[in-house]
Amino acid sequence: MNKLLKCCIALLGGALLGFTAGVNDLRGPEAAGAASDVHTVFISHYKSDVQKAASKYRLYASVMMAQAALESDWGQSTLTKEANNFFGIKGAYNGQSVQMPTVEYTKNGQMENINASFRKYPSAYASFADNGQTLRYGTSWDPKYYSGTWKENAPTYESAANALTGTYATAPNYGSSLISLIQLYGLNKILDGKSTGSTSVSKPVVVPKDSKDVKVKKVVAVSSPSLSTVKYLPYKSNKAVSLSKSYDKYFVYNHVQGTSKNEQHYTWTQLGIKSPVWVYVDLKAEKSGSSTDWYRIRFYSSDKSQRFWVCSSALKF
């Protein structure tokens, strides 16, 4: 679980720098060029170590390099500089660790700032190898937890990158973020020795507008041959409502169930909710052919908070 919780921090920093080509253009060609130089140096400097670690555990070096870049802020994060920790892995390595501020969820689903121990490695290679070992041998409860990243199971680097979504990381766009980095810098050609991707353009994971960077342990895609229509109705903004006693019997959705081909659902535990909490309701929906009302909720009062859909039975009005 500690392996998964760190992703909410890594993605906030990594996602911003993972796509600096477009962002830096807004700041001028000199800034964009400087960032590009940093990225090129990073790739060149760690190429050998990444290839060595990936080869040892039969993984895609391009995916490992993209992960390292995304999660370490291209080697600029404090954790990487002070502890050679490129993947934000918590705990200790051969008894060595450093204390760093991070964000975690409390038992009632609220975020809090804490100091946590992160592994301190003697070298960059040790960090890459430790990550490779984790992906190859999985978790204590499932040795094959990351088997989708193994070369014998993943025919392309895209497959391996997408296999990390919902397992290694909790954001539904994690795999597509890695793929974008690999394609932007040609990492598969530089590190994998040949073009290991598909001949067609990969399709990124769809992130609904009302469900930004959802932090979940496992994403379950749901498709339906016949979608229902839905009518949205205004609702009192920021109205606080408690979850019902039986809330955990129902799934949480990124769209009203059965109304979108991009539908995904999550358990409350995957969202860090382990007991009834207060949520904010800002929209109501009526689905054709159903008497069940649906409500859009968020866990924080800010209008920028991530939004989800739940059926009325999950709420206590």
Domain match, 175 and 233 both = no
What is the domain range of residue 252?
Answer: 220-316
Q: Say if residue 16's pLDDT is above 80.
A: no
Q: Say if residue 303's pLDDT is above 90.
A: no
Q: Which two tokens stand for residue 295?
A: 């409500």
Domain match, 179 and 246 both = no
| pLDDT given for residue 22 in this prediction | 39
Q: Which residues pair with 231 in a beta bridge?
A: 286
| pLDDT given for residue 134 in this prediction | 94
CA–CA dist 137, 125 (Å, integer): 18
Contact 267, 251 (CB under 8 A): yes
The owner of tokens 């590190």 is 191
What pTM value is reported for the model? 0.54
| pLDDT given for residue 237 in this prediction | 63
Average pLDDT for the chain: 78
Q: How many domains does the chain have?
A: 2
CA–CA dist 307, 285 (Å, integer): 14
CATH code at position 128:
1.10.530.10
- Reported as a single tens digit per residue, the pLDDT across 184-233 is 999 999 999 754 444 333 333 333 444 334 343 344 443 444 788 888 88
Domain match, 175 and 240 both = no
Q: Residue 312: how many CB atoms within 10 A of its CB? A: 15
Domain match, 292 and 254 both = yes
| pLDDT given for residue 148 in this prediction | 94
The pLDDT-based confidence of 274 (bands split at 50, 70, 90) is confident
Contact 85, 120 (CB under 8 A): yes
DSSP label of 228 = P
In a domain, 196, yes or no: no
Q: Say if residue 31's pLDDT is above 50.
A: no
Q: Which residues pair with 296 in a beta bridge?
A: 283, 309
Domain match, 55 and 122 both = yes
Whose CA is closest to 157, among 173, 179, 127? 179
| pLDDT given for residue 263 in this prediction | 80
Domain match, 161 and 248 both = no
| pLDDT given for residue 127 in this prediction | 97
Q: Which two tokens stand for residue 112?
A: 């809090």
Q: Exposed e or buried b for every residue in 27-59, given b needs 16+ CB within 10 A?
A: eeeeebeebeebbeebbeebeebbbebbeebeb
CA–CA dist 210, 227 (Å, integer): 19
Domain match, 62 and 178 both = yes
- Reported as a single tens digit per residue, the pLDDT across 41-88 is 999 999 999 999 999 999 999 999 999 999 999 999 999 999 999 999
Domain match, 19 and 111 both = yes
The pLDDT-based confidence of 4 (bands split at 50, 70, 90) is very low
Amino acid at 125: Y
* 18-22, 63-67, 235-239, range with the lowest pLDDT: 18-22
